[in-house]
């Protein structure tokens, strides 16, 4: 393995598609490729798709980056908890079932003769934003991925903090409302059950009765709110409130330099950030008032994939 390798292959596994890209040291994506599916694959099928994707990428890029030897390794962002040392998926996630126990590292290292790093997607979104995005030059930061679920990545002293058993960062499962709604984790009152896209959709359907079968994305609810729909406005207000409360707790606990909001919901832009910032300011301990830097991520849906690549390149600098 050359230590002068300039490129990494980054892979992001999602509930509707797997994306891959060849990424350079500056975070610039050379070719990107996506495989979409209707029915999510299980771990075994997923592994096959990842191999297929990497082979496709290498073919695509042979002209632009030359041989595989200029690639330092493969980084993979995966939903759920991952044993980072062994490269094994530790738990299924609601959108991706049948991956628990899948070893992604060993078979991919065998096939491609490259080092492979697998980590939780929110950890890697945080790492991507730190390396190439909103969190550059930040030592301690927290990243929330706001989508169907809510994930979290924690960077402490310039390292991803993975916890004692690779379960750290479950920010979506901070309790913000005792005895609140049932969450995907089977507990109650978690942030995810109150402020995720699925919570927003579920609440809108509930409060307007189920005739609104057309509501299948949080974006629709945001659009309705923008057009003055009172129920939609109230639901988003509440989601923002709980998100602000959770971030206030996180700032009181971690005293980070920055909190970055990534994922589909964060892309609803400044309105969200402004409101959440307001709630956080009203709820953190007064001495923190100096700088609760809450920002939108800069890498959009590529955060995980870029973080996965950055992890590879960091290990081969």
Q: Which is nearer to its own copies, 108 or 243 (CB)?
A: 243
Binding flag, residue 246, its own copies (CB under 8 A): yes
Interface with its own copies includes 186 (CB under 8 A)?
A: yes
Task: Report if residue 140 touches its own copies, rule: CB under 8 A.
Answer: yes
96 binds its own copies (CB under 8 A): no
Cα 22 to Cα 62, 191, 304, 310: the distances in Å are: 11, 34, 13, 11
316 binds its own copies (CB under 8 A): no
Please say which residue, 90 or 221, places its beta carbon nearer to its own copies. Answer: 90
Closest approach of its own copies to the CB of residue 144, in Å: 12
Token digits for 67? 């041989």
Nearer to its own copies, 19 or 102 (CB): 102
- C-beta closer to its own copies: residue 220 or 257: 257
Does the footprint of its own copies cover residue 268 (CB under 8 A)?
A: no
The rounded distance, in Å, linking the Cα atoms of 306 and 7 is 11
Rounded Cα distance between 23 and 95, Å, is 26
Q: Distance between CA 18 and CA 16 in Å, rounded?
A: 7
Residue 314 makes contact with its own copies by CB under 8 A:
no
Query: In this chain, which stretch among 43-51, 57-65, 222-230, 245-253 interacts with its own copies, using CB under 8 A?
Result: 245-253
Residue 123 sits in the site that holds its own copies (CB under 8 A) = no
What is d(CA 130, CA 90) in angstroms, rounded to the nearest whole number?
25
Task: Round to whole Å and give the CA distance between 15 and 116.
Answer: 21
Q: Which is nearer to its own copies, 16 or 252 (CB)?
A: 252
Asked whether position 313 contacts its own copies by CB under 8 A, the answer is no
Mutual angle of helices 270-283 and 230-254, in 10-degree steps: 50
Site for its own copies in 155-184 (CB under 8 A): 156, 161-171, 173-178
Q: Which of 91, 111, 267, 301 binds its own copies (CB under 8 A)?
A: 91
Q: Near its own copies by CB under 8 A, which window of 13-21, 23-31, 200-208, 278-286?
A: 278-286
Quote the least distance from Cβ 152 to its own copies, whole Å. 7
Q: Which residues contact 81 (CB under 8 A, 6 or more apart)?
A: 89, 90, 91, 120, 166, 167
Binder to its own copies among 223, 255, 278, 289 (CB under 8 A)? Answer: 255
Contacts (CB under 8 A) with its own copies, residues 40-69? none
Q: Is 37 in the site for its own copies (CB under 8 A)?
A: no
Measured from the CB atom, the residue of 114 and 250 that comes closer to its own copies is 250
The window from 37-45, 107-115, 205-213, 237-245 that contacts its own copies (CB under 8 A) reads 237-245
Determine if 215 is a binding residue for its own copies (CB under 8 A). Answer: no
Binding stretches for its own copies (CB under 8 A): 81, 90-91, 139-140, 152, 154, 156, 161-171, 173-178, 185-188, 241-242, 245-246, 248-250, 252-257, 282-288, 290
């Amino acid at each position: 393995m050359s230590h002068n390798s300039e490129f990494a292959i980054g892979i992001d596994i999602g509930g509707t598609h797997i994306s891959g890209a060849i990424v350079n040291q500056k975070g610039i994506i050379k070719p990107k490729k996506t495989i979409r599916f209707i029915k999510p694959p299980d771990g075994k099928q997923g592994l096959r798709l990842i191999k297929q994707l990497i082979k496709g990428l290498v073919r695509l890029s042979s002209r632009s980056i030359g041989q595989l030897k200029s690639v330092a390794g493969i980084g993979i962002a995966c939903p759920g908890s991952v044993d980072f040392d062994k490269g094994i998926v530790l738990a299924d996630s609601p959108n991706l079932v049948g991956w628990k126990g899948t070893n992604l590292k060993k078979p991919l290292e065998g096939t491609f003769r490259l080092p492979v790093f697998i980590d939780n997607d929110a950890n890697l979104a945080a790492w991507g934003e730190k390396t190439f995005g909103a969190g550059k030059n930040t030592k301690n930061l927290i990243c929330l991925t706001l989508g169907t679920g809510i994930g979290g990545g924690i960077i402490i002293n310039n390292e991803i903090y993975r916890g004692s058993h690779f379960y750290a960062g479950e920010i979506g499962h901070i309790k913000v409302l005792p005895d609140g709604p049932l969450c995907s984790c089977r507990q109650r009152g978690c942030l995810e059950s109150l402020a995720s896209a699925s919570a927003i959709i579920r609440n809108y359907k509930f409060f307007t009765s189920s005739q609104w079968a057309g509501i299948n994305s949080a974006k629709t609810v945001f659009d309705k709110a923008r057009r003055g729909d009172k129920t939609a406005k109230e639901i988003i207000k509440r989601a923002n409130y709980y998100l602000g409360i959770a971030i206030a707790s996180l700032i009181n606990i971690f005293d980070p330099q920055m909190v970055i909001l990534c994922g589909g919901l964060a892309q609803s832009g400044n309105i969200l950030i402004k409101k959440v910032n307001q709630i956080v300011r009203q709820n953190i301990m007064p001495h923190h008032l100096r700088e609760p830097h809450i920002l939108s991520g800069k890498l959009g849906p590529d955060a995980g994939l870029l973080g996965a690549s950055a992890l590879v390149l960091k290990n081969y600098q």
